[in-house]
């Protein structure tokens, strides 16, 4: 598996397809299912999720990010024990070239906490599929390909 925003297909007159590997963290399987269902395989015409890795613990997230390349991290700010906002801040401070992070906040008013966490984007609960796919697509298009 490689995280590189590879161009899967590029036909004349069409935009390149950004293929992304996504790590999804939540201790709640219902939240993980809701995120995967909202984003789907093709959140936009030019963005394709080629691989999902789901993690239910913060330790699993840290281990995965240290050992595998990801294009986007989606972290549940409402996860128990270790919330996604604290985890986002830890990863941004400790991982060289940390992938872009989307934090799922408990409510829209928690956007300031997402900013503190150094997350690139925040999407509030209840999850809106339009907002979530827009966030994933934006980060997929803007992330720099890994070597």
Full-model pTM: 0.88
Give me the pLDDT at residue 16, please.
87
Give me the pLDDT at residue 70, please.
97
Q: Which residue has the higher pLDDT, 116 or 14?
A: 116
- Residue-range domains of the chain with CATH: 18-74+96-109 (3.40.50.2300)
Give me the pLDDT at residue 6, please.
45
What is the helix (H) or strand (E) element at residue 11, kind and residue range? Answer: none
Give me the pLDDT at residue 144, please.
53
Contact predicate 66/96, CB 8 Å: no
CA distances from 134 to 9, 40, 76, 79, 95 (A): 21, 12, 17, 22, 25
Per-residue pLDDT tens digits for 108-117? 999 899 999 9
**pLDDT band at residue 1 under the 50/70/90 scheme:** very low
Give me the pLDDT at residue 23, please.
98
**pLDDT band at residue 11 under the 50/70/90 scheme:** low
Averaged over 58-79, what is the pLDDT? Answer: 97
Asked whether the predicted pLDDT for residue 9 surpasses 60, the reply is no
At residue 21, φ and ψ (nearest 5 deg) are -105, 130
């Amino acid at each position: 598996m490689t995280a590189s925003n590879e161009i899967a297909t590029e036909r004349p007159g069409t935009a390149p397809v950004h293929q992304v590997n996504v790590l999804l963290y939540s201790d709640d399987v219902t939240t993980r299912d809701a995120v995967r269902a909202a984003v789907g395989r093709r959140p936009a015409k030019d963005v394709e999720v080629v691989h999902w890795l789901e993690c239910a613990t913060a330790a699993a997230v840290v281990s995965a990010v240290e050992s595998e390349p990801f294009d986007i991290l989606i972290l549940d700010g409402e996860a128990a024990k270790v919330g996604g906002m604290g985890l986002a801040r830890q990863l941004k401070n400790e991982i060289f070239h940390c992938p872009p992070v989307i934090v799922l906040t408990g409510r829209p008013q928690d956007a300031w906490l997402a900013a503190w966490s150094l997350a690139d984007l925040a999407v509030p609960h209840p999850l809106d599929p339009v907002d979530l796919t827009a966030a994933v697509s934006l980060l997929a298009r803007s992330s720099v390909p890994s070597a």
